[in-house]
Amino acid sequence: MNYGPNPNAIYPNEAIKSICYIKNVVTRSNIMIGDYTYYDDINGAEKFEDHVTHHYEFIGDKLIIGKFCAIAKGIEFIMNGANHRMCSVTTYPFNIMGNGWEKSTPTLADLPFKGDTVIGNDVWIGQNVTVMPGVHIGDGAIIAANSVVVKDVPPYHIAGGNPCKIMKKRFDDELIDYLLTIKWWDWSDRKIFDNLETLCSGDLGKIKDIK
């Protein structure tokens, strides 16, 4: 018996080619995606990597996205390779223009480095969102459309705007702590299937009855 779509398929529903399980189309070793996380883009969901910019292996940063995330079209993850030297008189990147200017090539130590960009599990990111280098977005968070995420977003919080700011918590602290403890996204396919009604219910208390 099937307990859901195949997490190793490119398109979970062959009738909807705008939704792609991006774990199965990424080619870069510095991008890591969890099962069931999808990108939705009618113009080519399978081209997700095109939306991860300035991402160079020699810099060493990673984009890490958890399971069951929903990412809408227009996403852009800007990675650390976009940074310019800020400790000098000018930020202009003379070196990449060549023709003798490469003598000003900065060392990696000269460039700002914010670390890995990490998106938790069960995160919903709206349309046309930009995520800046090194940002961490916690499990269960929601990012409003057209936001620019420049700082970390805690688990199960809603954030939006440019720059992105916390708008409110999705649930009270007790429920947030409980959800972070049970980590439903790590359940077996069968357990998720058997408890879909509870996971999708507006009666939040039902989640605590699951054994």
Catalytic center residues: 84
From CA 59, how far away is CA 204, in angstroms rounded?
43
From CA 83, how far away is CA 55, in angstroms rounded?
11
Kindly report, residue by residue over 102-161, the tens digit of the pLDDT.
Answer: 887 777 777 888 999 999 999 999 999 999 999 999 999 999 999 999 999 999 999 999
Percent of the chain whose predicted confidence (pLDDT) is above 90: 80
- In this predicted structure, what is the pLDDT of residue 87? 80
Kindly report, residue by residue over 47-72, the tens digit of the pLDDT.
Answer: 999 999 999 998 999 999 999 999 99
The residues with which 118 forms a beta bridge, in sequence order, are 64, 136
Q: What does pTM read for this prediction?
A: 0.92
From CA 82, how far away is CA 96, in angstroms rounded?
12
- In this predicted structure, what is the pLDDT of residue 146? 98
* Sign of the alpha-carbon torsion through 168, 171, 173, 179: negative
